Amino acid sequence: MAFPYKKMDETDYDFIRSVTSPDRVAVGAEIADEYYHDEMPNYGIFPPELYVEAETKEEISKIMAYCNEHNIPVVIRGAGSGLAGGANCKYGGVMLSIMRMNKIWPVDHKNQTITVQPGALLLDVQAAAAAEGLFYPPDPGEKTATIGGNVITNAGGMKAVRYGLTRDFVRCIEAVLPDGSIERFSSNVVKNTTGYDIKDLVIGSEGTLCVVTEITLKLLPAPNCTCTLVMPFHSLEECADMVPKVLELPFVPTAIEFLERELIDIVERNLHKPFPVKEGEAVLIVMYDASSQQELDNAVEAAAEAALANGAIDCCIANTPERAGSVWEVRGGILEGMKADSVSQEECDVVVPRSCIAQYVKDAKRIASSLGLRVEPCGHCGDGNIHTEMLRGNDMTDEEWESATGECLRQLYALSKELGGQLSGEHGIGNGRIEYLKEFVGPRMIRLYKAIKLAFDENLILNPGKIIEYNE
């Protein structure tokens, strides 16, 4: 089975209309262009042959069983905010949206969990927990992403420094396998050593192993108080040097991010979001959560002292929701600001050991400037996940841009590997980084990945051509 996949025809369309409803199905030119790609169109623009909005796991099960039998590829679509070129139909076939499956069940207080359908938005899950005095900590930048998308990409985000990743909050998953069977991976238990841990394999599998249809998430008591500090420095390198010093303090920060002034200017100029701190060529933003004001004050005082002792020009305390909001809004606007400010962008999402952050930042800037590229390392420096953003200037031809970014990515991935890092910290491989992954992990690991894929999806119908490529 698999290559070449079946070209869909009226019989296939009619089957999918019959198990769902004709008003939830679009074919050919009826399908909106937005479903041809995710937030990184440069990682692939591929139209589906049929687009369908599922409402139940039973519908998904029937569609998967049919497509498995007829050799039709299926790609699952959440909010389409992915940054890896994952939610596109590289080999045509069906795009199946789970956005209508957005139910959030009442919080289970005894287990401190919440059960949701995959199409529930991250912001709605966070709000449902908060309404019950509880807290869902994972906080990736795009709040209108689906929780299913967050789980299947193991989304990280700013608060990973203190709380961890989406993975750390998933108790159990219900999913439809490519052959249409419906399975549960783990249950609402705190520990589990019952057989292989399929739940953790599925988390981060980028929609290549199964379709997530229900998730139970762990919640925490909400912190009582929170505070954001902005530490301006003379350079990004000084900011990076400060990160281990913040981590050595006896208070665990919630988030540590850095931004260069040029990037702040881009967001201010294009999105009209003013940043409250005007000094410094770069800023380190540090957030603390605490259960009491005293604990928070102690953390803030220690961090401010450490910053001033290590070259910070100042340490500004954004202790009202408005001031903190104006800091985080600029941080959250980076991607949109860069899109408005440049012809196109490329991104490197490496993660390096925290002890190597400063080294990575220095070398990344050197590599980019040797290739004539405008590059902005920024982002989640508290966990070593440095988003290295490349911006295309008006004066670059297509060929110059592609060759410079390709070479820059190769060198940055090699640098990350040399420093003991990984190719992607949170955005994943999708279609966009597939070639680089092969080189990064080597042939033995690719064979292992292929064996895992085949164990779930022997006909290779679910999101084919993502993470690994069989058609070669």
Ligand X SMILES: Cc1cc2nc3c(=O)[nH]c(=O)nc-3n(C[C@H](O)[C@H](O)[C@H](O)COP(=O)(O)OP(=O)(O)OC[C@H]3O[C@@H](n4cnc5c(N)ncnc54)[C@H](O)[C@@H]3O)c2cc1C
| Residues found near ligand X in the complex (CB under 6 A) | 38-39, 75-83, 86-87, 98, 118, 140-142, 145-146, 148-150, 152-153, 155-157, 206-207, 211-212, 335, 426-427, 463, 466
Token pair of 237, please?
A: 């390198």
Nearer to ligand X, 237 or 336 (CB): 336
**Rounded distance between C-alpha atoms, residue 436 and residue 412, angstroms:** 11
Nearer to ligand X, 174 or 241 (CB): 174
Nearer to ligand X, 396 or 467 (CB): 467
Nearer to ligand X, 101 or 373 (CB): 101
Tell me the closest approach of the beta carbon of residue 111 to ligand X, in angstroms.
23
Token pair of 263, please?
A: 């990037």
Tell me the closest approach of the beta carbon of residue 388 to ligand X, in angstroms.
15
DSSP track, 86-140:
-SS-TT-SEEEE-TT---BPPPBTTTTEEEE-TTSBHHHHHHHHHTTTEE---B-
Tell me the closest approach of the beta carbon of residue 268 to ligand X, in angstroms.
17
Tell me the closest approach of the beta carbon of residue 193 to ligand X, in angstroms.
25
Tell me the closest approach of the beta carbon of residue 140 to ligand X, in angstroms.
3
Nearer to ligand X, 157 or 232 (CB): 157
**Rounded distance between C-alpha atoms, residue 193 and residue 196, angstroms:** 8
**Rounded distance between C-alpha atoms, residue 284 and residue 256, angstroms:** 7
The residue number whose beta carbon is nearest to ligand X equals 149
Tell me the closest approach of the beta carbon of residue 81 to ligand X, in angstroms.
3
Nearer to ligand X, 102 or 310 (CB): 102
Nearest to 54 by CA among 116, 101, 92, 8: 101
Nearer to ligand X, 144 or 187 (CB): 144
CA 163 to chain centre: 16
Tell me the closest approach of the beta carbon of residue 108 to ligand X, in angstroms.
21
**Rounded distance between C-alpha atoms, residue 147 and residue 378, angstroms:** 25
HSE value, Cβ hemisphere, 13 Å, CA-based, for 387: 26
Nearest to 183 by CA among 174, 193, 192: 174
Nearer to ligand X, 155 or 327 (CB): 155
Nearer to ligand X, 121 or 307 (CB): 121
DSSP track, 286-345:
EEEEESSHHHHHHHHHHHHHHHHHTT-S--EEE-SHHHHHHHHHHHHTHHHHHHHHSS-E
Nearer to ligand X, 346 or 426 (CB): 426
Tell me the closest approach of the beta carbon of residue 152 to ligand X, in angstroms.
4
**Rounded distance between C-alpha atoms, residue 243 and residue 177, angstroms:** 43
Cβ-Cβ contacts under 8 Å for 448 (sequence gap 6 or more):
none
Tell me the closest approach of the beta carbon of residue 291 to ligand X, in angstroms.
25
Nearer to ligand X, 43 or 436 (CB): 43
Token pair of 208, please?
A: 């290549």
82 in Cβ contact with 48 (< 8 Å) = no
Q: What distances in angstroms separate CA 142 from CA 23, 116, 204, 365, one per listed residue?
A: 29, 18, 17, 27
Q: What distances in angstroms separate CA 226 from CA 70, 158, 191, 232, 319, one per listed residue?
A: 54, 14, 30, 20, 8
Tell me the closest approach of the beta carbon of residue 23 to ligand X, in angstroms.
22
Tell me the closest approach of the beta carbon of residue 97 to ligand X, in angstroms.
8
Token pair of 414, please?
A: 């090699």
Token pair of 302, please?
A: 């220690």
412 in Cβ contact with 367 (< 8 Å) = yes
